[in-house]
Amino acid sequence: MKNGEVLGSIPISPKLAVVAEKMARHYFANQVKSEFMESADICNPPASMGGSWIPRKQLAALGYRVPAEKSQWVMSTGIDMHVDRIWGETLMWVVHNDGLHFKQGRVKVVHQPGEWFIFNDALPHQVDIKKPTDSGEVWIGWAVKIERK
């Protein structure tokens, strides 16, 4: 397994797709207002969203577990290579993507909504525009702290 590669897919419910689209438009509008001073944002998901989507069996098969349901939304209009050092190994479920790619190491993927992957936020990674347009590209993922069993 390589950090960032697609490990599975979990369908995005119509309700979540609508929420994610609204979040993306709102986030992009705020980015325009701030002249893109902040290239990524993190916020907590609503408690009502829950963690029932987490692929626990697949994670266990890969040697991971969810120690506590610490989760957050991660939104970006593109961010250069950086290191966060928030959780280390992180499960990421892509809930919205207007064509931006995620890159860590040699893996560079334009994830589709519903795809999930594992990456290490303590290692260099980026979210970048594959083909720049002015149509408001936004990438939104739901991050969950994971650890080795």
Residue 64's pLDDT band, with cuts at 50, 70 and 90, is very high
Please report, rounded to a whole number, the percentage of residues in the chain having pLDDT higher than 70: 86
Give strand pairing partners of 81: none
pLDDT of 40 reads 57
**What's the rounded Cα separation, in Å, for the pair 120 and 115?**
17
In this prediction, residues 33-55 reach a mean pLDDT of 66
**Mean of pLDDT values over 29-34:** 83
pLDDT beyond 90 at 148: yes
pLDDT band of residue 108 (cuts 50, 70, 90) is very high
Question: In degrees to the nearest 10, what's the CA dihedral of 76, 41, 14, 60?
Answer: 90
Of 96, 105, 99, nearest in space to 128 by CA: 99
β-bridge mates for residue 94, sequence order: 141
At 49 the pLDDT is: 58
**Average pLDDT of the residues in 99-109:** 91
How many Å apart are CA 110 and CA 87, to the nearest integer? 23
Q: Determine the Cα–Cα distance for residues 23 and 25; give it in Å rounded to an integer.
A: 6
State the residue for tokens 């369908």.
Answer: 11
**pTM for this one?**
0.86
Q: Give the other-Cβ count within 10 Å of 9's Cβ.
A: 15
Q: What is the mean pLDDT of residues 55-60?
A: 94
